[in-house]
């Protein structure tokens, strides 16, 4: 996902833009893969802190970091565990000044915003914060989400960093890693708020499994809308979609995905290529929302749209806390429970 220039946009940048919204730029190949890592530790007595991330790198500090800067969605996940940050980068504030969906429950007035869109990261402001830890995700191992390649070296010189895989893994594994990180930073995973959220997540997962089992023929298409193209996601690389599939959801799998295996790009004239009973649409501010698609004749003619069976996908770029992922599972379960076969 980062690394945009006037003539080139990598797949990371493409995904950050909601599937290359209207750009049509070339994709660059990036490596990917799963990683196995251990939880962090805070040594009793010494106050020393360490955490092994999904690059296999160990971040260390003389004490538990307090001045944390993180990708907005990661900061939102940490907030749900009671761990606060001093700065964020990534979609944080909308044009009207409200919190972006990726900010979750963060009070965005209390954090320094180092960059609000793809390619923005104010290194000077970052340095001025006196950062003790940088945290972000990885859609490809080693590629730091929303940290621009051109300034990455400068950024990484200023503080230890932690990067967690948020793709090519399943949602429960990513949730567990974020919980481990939060715990290393002082979160109490036995706090009632945390245990209640996890219980809701597990209940929602059971509900979705039951809904999928009871309605196996209901096909769910995962889409993202741009001005010129309609992007159909395939489930394997995405943590949320992989988990939905594991729970038995009948997800439409496109047959001509990009060479990195994330999505198929369709012109709006061909938006009806895949029959679907439910359409789950990318709800990030970088993507066009259903209300803005009324000018696309083929959109309005899709059976799922006619039937009112379109729901938001709030986990396109997930906030990996149980509190934020549970509602997404419940919403999909409810949609499948109530869906009519129309595709």
Write out 27-73 in H/E/C secondary structure. Answer: CCCCCCCCCCCCCCEECCCCCCEEEECCCCCEEEECCCCCCEEEEHH
Predicted local distance difference test score (pLDDT) of residue 157? 97
* Interatomic CA distance for residues 41 and 43, integer angstroms: 6
Sign of CA dihedral 233, 322, 137, 73: positive
Predicted local distance difference test score (pLDDT) of residue 31? 33
- Going residue by residue through the chain, which has 343 residues, state the pLDDT in tens, using 9 for 90 and above: 322 222 234 445 555 555 433 333 323 333 333 333 344 544 433 489 999 999 999 999 999 999 999 999 999 999 999 999 999 999 999 999 999 999 999 999 999 999 999 999 999 999 999 999 999 999 998 999 999 999 999 999 999 999 999 999 999 999 999 999 999 999 999 999 999 999 999 999 999 999 999 999 999 999 999 999 999 999 999 999 999 999 999 999 999 988 888 999 999 999 999 999 999 999 998 899 999 999 999 999 999 999 999 999 999 999 999 999 999 999 999 999 999 999 6
Residues 6+ away with beta carbon under 8 Å from 328: 240, 313, 314, 315, 318
Q: Does residue 159 sit in helix, strand or coil?
A: coil
Predicted local distance difference test score (pLDDT) of residue 18? 52
Q: What does the block give as tokens for 116?
A: 């609000």
Predicted local distance difference test score (pLDDT) of residue 170? 96
* Interatomic CA distance for residues 214 and 130, integer angstroms: 54
The two most distant CA atoms of the chain are separated, in Å, by 66
* Interatomic CA distance for residues 310 and 112, integer angstroms: 35
Predicted local distance difference test score (pLDDT) of residue 258? 86
Residue that has been written with the tokens 């900010």 in this structure: 103
Q: Does residue 233 sit in helix, strand or coil?
A: strand
Predicted local distance difference test score (pLDDT) of residue 14? 53
Query: What's the distance, Cα to Cα, between the start and end of the chain in Å?
Result: 32
Q: What is the pTM of this model?
A: 0.87
Predicted local distance difference test score (pLDDT) of residue 193? 97
Predicted local distance difference test score (pLDDT) of residue 13? 53
Instruction: Residue count of the chain, please give it.
Output: 343
Q: What does the block give as tokens for 294?
A: 């009324």
């Amino acid at each position: 996902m980062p690394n945009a220039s006037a003539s080139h946009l990598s797949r990371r940048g493409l995904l950050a833009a909601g599937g290359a919204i209207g750009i049509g730029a070339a994709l660059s190949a990036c490596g990917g893969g799963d990683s196995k890592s251990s939880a962090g530790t805070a040594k009793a007595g010494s106050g020393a802190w360490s955490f092994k991330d999904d690059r296999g790198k160990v971040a260390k500090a003389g004490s538990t970091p307090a001045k944390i800067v993180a990708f907005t969605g990661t900061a939102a996940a940490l907030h749900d565990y009671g761990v606060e940050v001093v700065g964020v980068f990534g979609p944080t504030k909308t044009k009207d000044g409200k919190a972006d969906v990726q900010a979750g429950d963060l009070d965005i007035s209390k954090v320094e915003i180092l960059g609000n869109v793809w390619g923005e990261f104010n290194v000077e402001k970052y340095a001025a914060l006196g950062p003790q830890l940088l945290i972000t995700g990885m859609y490809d191992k080693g590629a730091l989400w929303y940290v621009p390649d051109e300034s990455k070296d400068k950024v990484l010189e200023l503080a230890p960093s932690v990067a967690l895989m948020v793709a090519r893994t399943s949602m429960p594994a990513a949730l567990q890693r974020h919980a481990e990180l939060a715990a290393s930073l002082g979160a109490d995973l036995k706090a009632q708020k945390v245990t209640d959220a996890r219980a809701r997540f597990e209940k929602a997962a059971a509900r979705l499994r039951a809904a999928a089992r009871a309605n196996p023929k209901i096909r769910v298409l995962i889409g993202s809308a741009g001005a010129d193209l309609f992007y159909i996601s395939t489930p394997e690389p995405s943590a949320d979609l992989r988990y939905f599939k594991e729970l038995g959801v009948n997800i439409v799998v496109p047959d001509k995905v990009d060479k990195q295996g994330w999505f198929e790009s369709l012109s709006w004239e061909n938006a009806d290529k895949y029959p679907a009973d439910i359409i789950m649409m990318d709800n990030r501010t970088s993507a066009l929302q259903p209300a803005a698609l009324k000018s696309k004749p083929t959109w309005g003619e899709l059976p799922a749209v006619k039937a009112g069976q379109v729901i938001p996908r709030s986990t396109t770029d997930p906030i990996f806390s149980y509190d934020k992922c549970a509602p997404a599972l419940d919403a999909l379960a409810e949609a499948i429970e109530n869906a009519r076969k129309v595709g």
